[in-house]
């Protein structure tokens, strides 16, 4: 074997391996600089020049055109409050209180972030769709089947995520997203 | 025998690192390019396209919000500055964000920043001049996207919001000479 053959082999393997590893990392979900708050996760550097090459690549894949934190914060839950993966064949109660921002909505996505077909043509629950009690507490149901009260359909997909958008969040939430009070996601049962 | 492989393997290690970093750096440009093609493909550059509300059957970008009305302008600064005028929609969250070719946010202005007034931005490259009355936004690349988000509390508000947002404009600054 000639010397250039050895170089050709290692370089070809390196190109393929380096690229494949990068693609795998980018597709591996947003864990770079993530903070958790109960079942919710967020990042502090969406859409800003501070983002690392890996974070920027991940955001470009799963949240292209995301707003910076002063405008909106994106909290995503792929698990319930007990740590079990969200399953579109199960029914969940999502319960919260007053959120520390100007407006919020919770949207249900499947895969890398696509709205799910459902007969009710409903993909999100905005703040205006829930009824808060005198203490500001509210709840809605995430379920494959129609529910009384505010209902977010899962379309019976195998797995899904919930994304909570908080518009004009308070400076406390921007600084310490792990501390603010966010909704709980409680699994009630599965079909 | 093994010694003959040392330098090829070292070279391979460097190439692997380079390929890894290059892929990470190229990903936003590639995805933004694809998004601009997809969003701008149907319309002209330097002009707003007013999308219908996102539904399961209408998802022009990943992770769309079904509560937001999106208007998009794919801009190109190669022939001079582009002016973005955003008509305010009273009493609700709205914002205009300017994304560059690398997916970074070059500017965001919301109703809170304008105190309910219109947003008037001049998107420019270094060395170009903003006309008076426009806030300059410097960009490192010619192409990018201006995106207006208007929050709807209820889908039934769409016709009213739609009529207002269609007064927003994105246009090439006419050359004076």
Residues A103-114: tens digit of each pLDDT: 999 999 998 889
Estimate to the nearest angstrom the gap between the alpha carbon of A65 and the chain centroid.
15
Minimal C-alpha gap between B3 and chain A (Å) = 11
Domain with residue B67: its CATH number is 2.60.40.1610
Q: Residue A38 sits in which domain range?
A: 34-51+65-190
Gap between the Cα atoms of B53 and B35, Å rounded: 18
Average pLDDT of the residues of chain A = 90
Average pLDDT, chain B: 91
Residue A64 has pLDDT above 90, yes or no: no
Let me know if residue B18 belongs to a domain: no
Residue A30 has a pLDDT of: 58
Answer whether residue A174 is part of any domain.
yes
What is the pLDDT, as a whole number, of residue A54? 84
Q: What is the mean pLDDT of residues A55-76?
A: 84
Which residues from chain A sit within 8 angstroms of residue B115, using beta carbons?
Answer: none
Give residue A40's pLDDT.
Answer: 96
CATH code for the domain of A179:
2.60.120.600
Mean pLDDT of A6-35: 85
Residue B113 falls inside a structural domain? yes
- CA atoms of B34 and A66, how far apart (whole Å): 16
Instruction: Please tell me whether residue A39 adopts helix, strand or coil conformation.
Output: coil
Q: Which of residues 51-70 of A touch B (CB under 8 A)?
A: 51, 53-54, 56-57, 59-68, 70
pLDDT along chain B (177 residues), means of 10: 88 94 91 81 83 90 90 94 96 94 91 95 93 95 95 91 96 75
Predicted local distance difference test score (pLDDT) of residue A109: 96
Q: Would you give the distance in Å from CA A155 to the centre of its chain? A: 18
Query: How far is Cα A48 from Cα B155, in angstroms, rounded to an integer?
Result: 31
| A108 close to A143: Cβ distance less than 8 angstroms | no
Number of domains in chain B: 1
Answer yes or no: do A64 and B62 touch at CB < 8 A. yes
**Range of the structural domain that residue B121 is part of:** 49-172
């Amino acid at each position: 074997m000639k010397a250039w053959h050895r170089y050709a082999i290692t370089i070809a393997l390196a190109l393929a391996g380096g690229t494949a590893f990068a693609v795998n990392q980018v597709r591996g979900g947003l864990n770079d600089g993530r903070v958790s708050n109960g079942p919710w996760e967020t990042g502090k550097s969406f859409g800003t020049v501070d983002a690392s090459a890996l974070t920027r690549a991940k955001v470009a894949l799963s949240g292209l055109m995301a707003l910076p934190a002063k405008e909106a914060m994106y909290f995503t839950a792929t698990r319930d409050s007990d740590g079990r993966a969200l399953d579109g064949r199960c029914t969940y109660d999502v319960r919260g209180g007053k959120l520390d921002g100007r407006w919020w909505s919770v949207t249900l996505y499947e895969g890398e972030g696509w709205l799910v077909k459902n007969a009710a043509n409903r993909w999100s629950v905005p703040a205006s769709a829930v009824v808060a009690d005198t203490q500001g507490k509210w709840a809605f149901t995430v379920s494959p089947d129609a529910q009384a009260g505010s209902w977010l359909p899962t379309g019976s997909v195998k797995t899904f995520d919930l994304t909570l958008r908080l518009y004009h969040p308070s400076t406390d939430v921007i600084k310490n997203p792990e501390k603010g009070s966010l909704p709980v996601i409680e699994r009630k049962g599965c079909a | 025998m093994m010694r003959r492989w040392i330098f090829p393997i070292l070279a391979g290690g460097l190439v692997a690192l380079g390929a890894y970093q290059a892929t990470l750096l190229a990903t936003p440009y590639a995805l933004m390019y694809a998004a601009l093609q997809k969003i701008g493909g149907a319309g002209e550059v330097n002009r707003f396209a007013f999308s219908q509300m996102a539904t399961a059957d209408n998802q022009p970008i990943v992770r769309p919000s079904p509560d937001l009305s999106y208007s998009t302008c794919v801009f190109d600064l190669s022939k001079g500055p582009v002016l973005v005028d955003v008509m305010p929609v009273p009493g609700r969250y709205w914002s205009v964000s300017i994304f560059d070719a690398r997916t970074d946010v070059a500017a965001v202005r919301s109703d809170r920043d304008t105190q309910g007034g219109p947003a008037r931005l001049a998107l420019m490259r270094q060395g170009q001049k903003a006309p008076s009355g426009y806030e300059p936004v410097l960009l490192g690349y010619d192409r990018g996207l201006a995106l207006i988000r208007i929050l709807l509390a209820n889908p039934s508000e769409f016709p009213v919001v739609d009529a207002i947002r269609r007064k927003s404009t994105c246009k090439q600054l006419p050359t004076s000479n």
